[in-house]
Structure 1
Amino acid sequence: MSLKESIKNNPRLKKIIHWMLVPANEARPRGWVKMLVNPFLHKRGKGSAIRRRTRIDVLPFKKFVLGEHSVIEDFCTINNGVGDLIIGHHTLIGMGNTIIGPINIGNHVIFAQNIVASALNHEYRDVTKPIHEQAILTAPIVIEDECWIAANAVITAGVTIGKHSVVAAGAVVTKSIPPYSVAVGNPAKVIKQYDFEKKEWVRVGISDK
């Protein structure tokens, strides 16, 4: 049995290790983890940048990858506490975003401002317990290459947004979006798709009048 499996299978040891990595009731890792552990475990591509006023809540037991020439702007919160967080090459994470893994963001993606992409949910159905004492549920989010997620959008757990798609400002994405689509609204619906035969974007699901 590996060390990782031994820790996972021993609740008391797991609790001690977690306390060593993260202060009680917090998501932010301890300073020694940031300085002495994370730089050796997590991957940063050539030319990538994380702005100084960004909160990077990344821990060593899950992956954090930032691809080549990708940028995470100021005032973001980046969290891999419950799932891997992988960002591809030439991708921009704009100001004020909250990104909670497990999430895989592709290459040449644009996240505008104040977007929430969270693959985490809290269980709530047991009314005999406070919600914070119930299970944490996760379902991976996938943002494929060349997507543009506009300002103030929300992307919920389990969603895949297909290649070269656009999510409009303020949209709430609760279901997967096919490639080469434009989605708007709450809940988000596809209103345009690219027609490769006509070589143009065409309206779908709504009248042209």
Structure 2
Amino acid sequence: MQITPKFIKIGKGVVIREYARVEGITKYAGENFFPKIEFGENVKIQQSLHLTCAKKVFVGKETAIAANVTITDINHGYEILDIPPERQKINVQEVYIGMNCKIYNNAVILPGTILGKQVIVGANSVVKGVFPDYCVIAGAPAKIIKRYNFTNKQWEKTNFNGDFIL
């Protein structure tokens, strides 16, 4: 397990299973960073989470994260062709995961992602973008496949933009 506790704020009732990497990155390719990782109350994380953070990753309360999930606010650059990507400067964008979300096995949450509350992320999904409250997303890249219609009080299929299909 690799955890950098001084960059992590953990709410009451948080469970992080074995083999987790929850790491704040403070220096990379000559740049300094000030990471902030926050888990709200009762977040449950299964084994083998890979979370790296150079700016901010927030996981809302009551969110459940299944096994082998990656969450990162870091993207390795590939600007200079004669330098391996792993040695180039990183690009950083905050990640926000709302409360009551469920992220299934092997999902990858990429920099700049914002998940509203009660978003379900399907297994093996690659997630980047902004997704509204009460929706189910899946795929690589992840798209909205259904969301809750408060007018009809039921879950309904949508197009990939989240518009209800009539």
Q: Normalising by structure 2, report the TM-score.
A: 0.85
Q: Is the 1:59–1:81 Cα contact (8 Å) retained in structure 2?
A: no
Structure 1 residues 1-209: aligned runs within 5 Å: 54-56=1-3, 58=4, 60=6, 63-82=7-26, 83-101=35-53, 102-205=56-159
Which whole-Å CA distance do the structure 1 matches of 2:8 and 2:52 have between them?
11
User: Gapped runs of 5+ residues in structure 2?
Assistant: 27-34
Q: CA RMSD in A?
A: 1.7
Which whole-Å CA distance do the structure 1 matches of 2:123 and 2:87 have between them?
34
* 1:150 maps to amino acid: Y
Question: 1:14: which partner in 2?
Answer: none
Which whole-Å CA distance do the structure 1 matches of 2:86 and 2:118 have between them?
37
Identity of aligned residues (%): 28
Q: Is the 1:193–1:203 Cα contact (8 Å) retained in structure 2?
A: yes
User: Gapped runs of 5+ residues in structure 1?
Assistant: 1-53
Which whole-Å CA distance do the structure 2 matches of 1:159 and 1:84 have between them?
16
CA shift in 2, pair 1:186/1:132, >3 Å: closer
Q: 1:155-193: CA deviations, max 9, x gaps?
A: 100100110010001111122211110001110010101
User: Whose strand proportion is higher, 1 or 2?
Assistant: 2
Which whole-Å CA distance do the structure 2 matches of 1:124 and 1:154 have between them?
20
Which whole-Å CA distance do the structure 2 matches of 1:167 and 1:142 have between them?
14
Q: How much has 1:137 moved relative to structure 2?
A: 1.6
User: Whose helix proportion is higher, 1 or 2?
Assistant: 1
3-state SS of 2:130 partner: coil
In terms of Rg, which structure is larger? 1
Which whole-Å CA distance do the structure 1 matches of 2:43 and 2:158 have between them?
29
Which structure ranks higher in relative contact order (CA pairs < 8 Å, sequence separation ≥ 6)? Answer: 2
Which whole-Å CA distance do the structure 1 matches of 2:25 and 2:111 have between them?
15
Which whole-Å CA distance do the structure 2 matches of 1:98 and 1:179 have between them?
24
* 2:141 maps to amino acid: P
Q: How much has 1:81 moved relative to structure 2?
A: 1.6
After TM superposition, where is structure 1 displaced by more than 4 Å over at least 4 residues in a row? none
Q: 1:11-68: CA deviations, max 9, x gaps?
A: xxxxxxxxxxxxxxxxxxxxxxxxxxxxxxxxxxxxxxxxxxx321x164xx311110
* 1:190 maps to amino acid: I
Question: 1:46: which partner in 2?
Answer: none
